[in-house]
Structure 1
């Protein structure tokens, strides 16, 4: 997150006299997906719109066969996973991709334009799967791995899941937000309380690595792919999630970063091989 000159100083000074106000600002920024508002859709396929809650989700479907869902990350859109569509369709799968609420072409979520939460994204995936049919596999990127894992812990079923550059637990990243904005630990705790109230879930639910480690039900066969130089989702997240997930396999790359990893031919081939494995 880049701030205009002087903003951090203003927030730091305001934190001394009005920490509740700063906590509300932090909540707004944390729940605000950054990125392209109207990115170009993936070529081809059948475009669809699905009512979800008070809003609507826009997506596309290609091919026929067992269904593979593509789930983008925070501030992302379905077009970022375009490289997976053609090889999966060629392998005999139906591919379903969509923009989460308050992302891409989809409408606002329950908290208004450009606002969303992890649980809302997880519930949106569950709604899309309920409408389009059972998932054979889910291919995810970044925060989409977190939301998909939360959905799985909440009962979503799939045979396989591929987690590209996932976050194991978003909460440690709130310390990064505090450092960037310049507010202290007491205000961070206020912000976490506001976030728990908005999400209507205990914050421990967001530690999905711990969730899969203690889960007493079946889990999909998991592949975790992470770049050693990822500056947005820490490599330690991918490593921790792979360790926690029973039977998961970790594949690392170097030099692809957080987004180019989605277009790398070797990564695409690795993910497709995982999805299509017997």
Structure 2
């Protein structure tokens, strides 16, 4: 596993490395401006959203909602006319709702009404930058439009946002978390290290984020979440994930009173979204009766 998962997002291209060199210089000359520049980069999804756009297959249709001065794009099948339990599917950092199409089709065939969401700065949604607290606010906006949710199926940073939203009272019965990200405090340290930025920059970035968003990053840590999330939660994570460390899911699942961790091998970070056995596990969890997490298990590759 990579010792610095942030490098997969921010230091994997020549352009990003060039920007990193400029940030180091700016931070040496003017730390305040260096912090602002680092945050601007930190809040910019990579790859850019145009790279994640693809034509929608029928019967999926795209619509938009107004949200925080911009717009949220969401996708729904137009062949579902009857009242069905709504399941919201959300992507991770640098992803898009279209990554969840295979899962959405599987849920529709099983009698659910799947809704796929693009977070701000992603896919077909507006804006170019976004934050983890904004992800969580977008989930509340979606629930206000869609009504109480039967489930949320969330990947990567979207999974961390969904857990935080549930802790804050999101009306949802069940969560299925696919490769949830590590808490943002750890990712800030990885981000700063990936560009060789000055010691202490991550702390300055954290202070700015908490002041701007009005949310303490401690609220995304397992201890805080575990004391507040009571819904059944299925956590699916590959042991060889190089983007979101598997150990983070071990800690998160252990903190949740109704959490259940299933580990896979050979799927990495993104291939979970297209895996038939993972889809079957998510479906089993969403269909389970009672308040406990479904005691399912996936064959390991």
TM over 0.5: same fold? yes
Q: Deviations over 1:30-63 (max 9, x none)?
A: 1111125231254223432211121111111233
Residues 147-166 of structure 1: pairs in structure 2 closer than 5 A: 147-166=161-180
Contact conserved, 1:165 with 1:227, CA < 8 A, in 2? yes
Structure 1 segments of 4 or more deviating over 6 A? none
Per the alignment, in what secondary structure is the counterpart of residue 172 of structure 1? helix
Secondary structure of the 2:64 match is strand
In the superposition, the TM-score normalised over structure 2's length comes to: 0.84
Alignment of 1:158-237 (within 5 A): 158-207=172-221, 209-215=222-228, 219-237=230-248
Q: Mean alpha-carbon deviation: is it higher for 29-38 or for 118-127?
A: 29-38
Task: State the 1:16 CA deviation.
Answer: 3.3
1:57 maps to 72
Aligned-partner Cα distance in 1 for 2:273–2:61: 22
Residue ranges of structure 1 left out of the alignment (5+ in a row): 109-113
> 1:94 Cα shift?
0.6
Deviation digits for residues 212-260 of structure 1 (CA, Å, limit 9, x no counterpart): 2222xx6221000001111111101111111011121111111111101
SS in 2 for 1:73: coil
Shift of 1:8: 4.5
* Cα displacement string for residues 176-229 of structure 1 (whole angstroms, at most 9, x for unaligned residues): 11111111222222222111122122221232x2222222xx622100000111
Query: Which position in structure 1 is the counterpart of 2:299?
Result: none
1:144 aligns with 2:163: no
Instruction: Mark the runs of 5 or more structure 2 residues left unpaired by the alignment.
Output: 1-9, 290-301
Aligned residues: 270
Aligned pair partner of 2:47 in 35, 40, 43: 35
Contact 2:89/2:152, CA 8 A, preserved across alignment? yes
Structure 1 residue 12: Cα displacement: 3.6
SS for the counterpart of 2:137 is helix
Aligned twin of 1:69: 88
CA gap 1:85/1:13 in 2 versus in 1, 3 angstroms: closer
Kept after mapping to 1: 8 A contact 2:184/2:217:
no
Task: Indicate whether 1:24 and 2:36 are aligned.
Answer: yes
